[in-house]
Amino acid sequence: MREHDVFSADGTRIRVWRTKADGPDVLLSPGLGAVPTLWPELPAARVHSWYHRGTMASDRPADPGRIRLDDHVADAVAVLDAGGVERCVVMGWSMGVTVAAALALRHPERVSGLMLVAGVPGDAFGSVLGLPGVPVELRRLIGVSGVTALKAAGPLLDAVLHRLPVPDPGRFAGLAGLGRLASLAELSGLGRLAELSGLGRLSELSGLGRLSELSGLGRAAGLADLPGLRRLAGLPGLGGLAALGRLAGLGGGLDGSSAAAPAGSLAGSLRRYLQHDWRWYFTLALALGRSPRLDLTGVTCPTTVLAGRYDLLASTDGVVGPVAGLPQARVRLLPNTHFLPLEDPQLVADELDLLLDRADAVHRAVHELDGPLTSRSRPRA
């Protein structure tokens, strides 16, 4: 994997990365603050992506307010331009779905196919806690209030997570999945993270009661039996810590890491993730999560949507509903949580291969590269 810098439309320096595969170009709109290791290895495609403004090695904008949806779309366009990519399939995960969908609507000439994974096209907080009987207004209140509380606790999170010991990935090479994350938590000290950081009392500060019980993500991610970590995993916006098992050697990622890879590369990815400025992280989450719901009826390219039946950060109706009227959309409702790419990486890779084939078939048909579709087809004007 190669990283380098580009400048977005407003002059903000953005760190971009791409894989070394020889396949077709694919743009990945990542989950907020995610590292490449969190996404499945995709050997059939050359993946281009970036780190969000003010995260990892990307600069914060000179104007702190330039973190709206338009700015993230501009960053995506800058990534395509830097890679010499005129048009390609675009993938989005989690909050990256909002950016991917907006890119397809505003720059359809750059998007040949769209893959939306465990995320909604805008109004992300309105899709939190998608349980029957919970009105959208309450979902939105829970999401916004929870992330606002976490933003306020940013310095406390920094004090703990920046000093958290990073385990030796080699010790966890035998783990088979997130269901064994308890062992990792005990060995790395994560089991006491909520108590050490004071997050066990964060719900009282926000006035929402036990946020973990409201969101239920701890159970959905298989973390319910972890002492202390249960509350942390259930907080909206911070559930990504459930992915630490993958970073500690549970499988390969887009950076080429695997269970047999050198410990430094895996530990380095984990260390980079934990070093976020968490107040800024949740500032980004609030700005992007408040983007209004996008109307996708203008999307005409082949589209694939993967939704997790047990995803309590992106409800099924919020993920599937916006594409219900698209005849070219392929929708799969799967027995997964918000971390679908980690739980079933092969399925994600297979679906991407199929979408690439569909996009190529449309391109060949539109440009009649294989001749007329039927004997009665007329030449294009």
Domains of the chain and any CATH numbers: 1-123+292-381 (3.40.50.1820), 138-290 (no CATH)
How far apart CA 353 and CA 284 sit, in angstroms, is: 31
Q: DSSP string covering 231-280, please?
A: HHHHSTTTGGGGGHHIIIIIS--TTS--TTS-HHHHHHHHHHHHTS-HHH
The β-bridge relationship of strands 25-29 and 46-50 is: parallel
How far apart CA 133 and CA 277 sit, in angstroms, is: 36
List the one residue out of 102, 70, 27 whose CA is nearest residue 298.
102
Q: Residue 246's pLDDT is what?
A: 45
List the one residue out of 12, 28, 124, 156 whose CA is nearest residue 85.
28
Count of alpha carbons within 13 Å of 59, Cβ hemisphere only? Answer: 13
- Provide CB contacts within 8 A for 214, sequence distance 6+: 129, 142, 208, 234
Q: Residue 254's pLDDT is what?
A: 64
Q: DSSP string covering 51-113, please?
A: PPTTSTTPPPPSSTT--SHHHHHHHHHHHHHHTT-SSEEEEEETTHHHHHHHHHHH-GGGEEE
Q: Residue 374's pLDDT is what?
A: 55
Per-residue pLDDT tens digits of the chain, which is 381 residues long: 899 999 999 999 999 999 988 899 999 999 998 888 778 888 889 999 999 999 999 999 999 999 999 999 999 999 999 999 999 999 999 999 999 999 999 999 999 999 999 999 999 999 998 777 889 999 999 999 999 999 999 999 999 999 988 766 555 444 444 344 443 343 334 444 444 444 444 444 444 444 334 333 333 333 333 333 333 333 333 334 444 444 444 445 665 544 333 434 566 777 788 899 999 999 999 999 999 999 999 999 999 999 999 999 999 999 999 998 898 999 999 999 999 998 999 999 999 999 999 999 998 888 766 665 555 555 554
- Give 330's strand partners: 304
Please, are residues 117 and 97 in contact by the beta-carbon 8 Å criterion?
Answer: yes
> What is the reported pTM?
0.77
Q: Residue 368's pLDDT is what?
A: 66
Q: Residue 51's pLDDT is what?
A: 96
Q: Residue 216's pLDDT is what?
A: 38
Q: Residue 249's pLDDT is what?
A: 43
In one letter, which amino acid is 24?
Answer: P
How far apart CA 45 and CA 162 sit, in angstroms, is: 34
Please, are residues 288 and 69 in contact by the beta-carbon 8 Å criterion?
Answer: yes
Q: Residue 44's pLDDT is what?
A: 84
